[in-house]
Amino acid sequence: MSLNIVPFVSVDHMMQIVLQTGVETFLRELAAFIEVDFRRWERFDKTPRVAAHSAEGVIELMPTSDGETYSFKYVNGHPGNARDGRQTVTAFGVLADVATGYPLLMSEMTILTALRTAATSALTAKVLAPRGADTVAIIGNGAQSEFQALAFHALMGIRKFRLYDVDPSATRRCIANLAGHGLDCRACPSAEDAVLGAQIITTVTADKRYATILSDNMIAEGVHINAVGGDCPGKTELAREILLRSEIFVEYPPQTRIEGEIQQLAEDHAVTEFWQVLTGRAAGRVSDRQITIFDSVGFAIEDFSALRYLRERVAATGLFQPLDMLADPDEPRDLYGMLLRAGAARLDRAG
């Protein structure tokens, strides 16, 4: 392909790639890429996301680099968007070559972010959940819920799901969408009911405010909480008391302290970086009675992994659109000459 052409994965191509690969296979392979990058965490440039907040929501840029490859994601979060038929969260991203600065791939990332978030949830739960965990409660049955269930199934073999949403139609739709995967999904009348018998509790609600999706009395000893929905300043899901009696695992502390559940805690409250658990530098779960929390906010390295994996799938499937995104003069210093020649070519065609 010519130097100036950037492969672009549209929403439609992304869906075709995921369907051709199989959603669960995609999630499993994607989780493997994320794990590889977590294991070499120290090699990455890391920075909290660059956020532009407004009354309606937030627009963020999430860059990172491992010194050879660079990526960034554009992502918005606008809770009111659903009112006029828009997505609460949409995203796109770019993978680029550090040596030349040239983009290697551009992609929609609304679907890809849902997949990488779910893959990261299951990857961390696989390490942190109590032994023999076989039931997951999913509280919040919106856009992320099916991806969560399928990731827990794909990576951990979990089949039993207990679902709750303030909107019962969301739960019904989630269960209908999951038909055919051999899962045992139960609609529950309340969050209190949903967590009964679950060793893993996933919270994935979308409200932009301090909410208490889980209160202290709902949390039994030994559970693993996968807290996904609290992911920006002023948006949390867990009662502070739960945090105080749990071991908390995070992606990148400087970002999580701003955006995660731990924004409710003192700035120096001890947390463990998940990559250190993976590499054996820090302990994960140390007892069956311990409560573990993965305070997930979504970090740039997970998007990097997702784009890196996608690039492989794009090469395998050929499902992309060539985008004329970079100026490509015959002589790199002659940008204006390229414009002149384009003008001459237009006149020729018109003549």
| Residues 30 to 89 in contact with a copy of itself, rule: CB under 8 A | 45, 47, 50, 52, 54, 56-59, 61, 63, 65, 67, 70, 72, 74, 76-78, 81-82, 84-88
Shortest Å, Cβ 191 to a copy of itself: 18
Only one of the segments 195-203, 212-220, 294-302, 319-327 lies at the binding site for a copy of itself (rule: CB under 8 A); that segment is 319-327
CA 188 to the chain's CA centroid: 26
Strand-pairing partners, residue 60, are: 51, 75
- Find the binder of a copy of itself among 21, 27, 33, 103 (CB under 8 A): 103
Select which of 231, 295, 328, 330 is catalytic: 231
Please identify, using beta-carbon distances, which residue of 91 and 293 lies nearer to a copy of itself: 91
| Structure tokens belonging to residue 292 | 């573990």
Query: What does each C-alpha distance from 295 to 36, 154, 202 come to in angstroms?
Result: 20, 21, 11
CA distance 31 to 278: 13
Shortest Å, Cβ 263 to a copy of itself: 21
Give the number of other Cβ atoms within 10 Å of residue 163's Cβ.
25
Please identify, using beta-carbon distances, which residue of 57 and 230 lies nearer to a copy of itself: 57
Q: Does 333 bind a copy of itself (CB under 8 A)?
A: yes
Contacts of 346 (CB under 8 A, 6+ apart): none
Please identify, using beta-carbon distances, which residue of 45 and 288 lies nearer to a copy of itself: 45
Q: Does 279 bind a copy of itself (CB under 8 A)?
A: no
What stretch of H or E contains 326? Answer: none
- Find the binder of a copy of itself among 7, 142, 230, 284 (CB under 8 A): 142
* Helix axes of 23-39 and 145-156: crossing angle, nearest 10 degrees: 80
Q: Does 332 bind a copy of itself (CB under 8 A)?
A: yes
Please identify, using beta-carbon distances, which residue of 61 and 265 lies nearer to a copy of itself: 61
What stretch of H or E contains 322? Answer: strand 321-324
Tell me which residue of 24, 30, 105, 31 sits closest to 69, measured CA to CA: 105
- In the residue annotation, 231 being an active-site residue is answered as yes
Residues of span 206-245 touching a copy of itself by CB under 8 A: none
End-to-end C-alpha distance for the chain, whole angstroms: 31
Task: Region of 82 please: left (phi>0), alpha (psi -120 to 50) or beta.
Answer: alpha
Q: For a copy of itself, what does the binding mask look like between residues 105 and 134, x meaning CB under 8 A?
A: ---x-xx--x--------------------
Please identify, using beta-carbon distances, which residue of 56 and 288 lies nearer to a copy of itself: 56
Q: Does 337 bind a copy of itself (CB under 8 A)?
A: yes
DSSP secondary structure, 304-346, as one string: HHHHHHHHHHHHHH---EEEE-S---SSTT-HHHHHHHHHHHH
Please identify, using beta-carbon distances, which residue of 159 and 240 lies nearer to a copy of itself: 159
Only one of the segments 100-108, 238-246, 254-262, 292-300 lies at the binding site for a copy of itself (rule: CB under 8 A); that segment is 100-108
Shortest Å, Cβ 344 to a copy of itself: 10
What amino acid is encoded at 185 in this protein? C
- Find the binder of a copy of itself among 98, 196, 244, 282 (CB under 8 A): 98
CB 93 within 8 A of CB 116: no
CA 191 to the chain's CA centroid: 23
Q: Does 21 bind a copy of itself (CB under 8 A)?
A: no
Only one of the segments 243-251, 258-266, 287-295, 335-343 lies at the binding site for a copy of itself (rule: CB under 8 A); that segment is 335-343
- Residue 222 burial (10 A CB sphere; 0-12, 13-18, 19+): middle
Give the number of other Cβ atoms within 10 Å of residue 82's Cβ.
13
Q: For a copy of itself, what does the binding mask look like between residues 172 and 211, x meaning CB under 8 A?
A: -xx--x----------------------------------
| Structure tokens belonging to residue 195 | 């967590």
CA distance 329 to 212: 57
Shortest Å, Cβ 305 to a copy of itself: 17
CA distance 317 to 107: 15
Shortest Å, Cβ 83 to a copy of itself: 9
Q: Which residues are catalytic?
A: 231
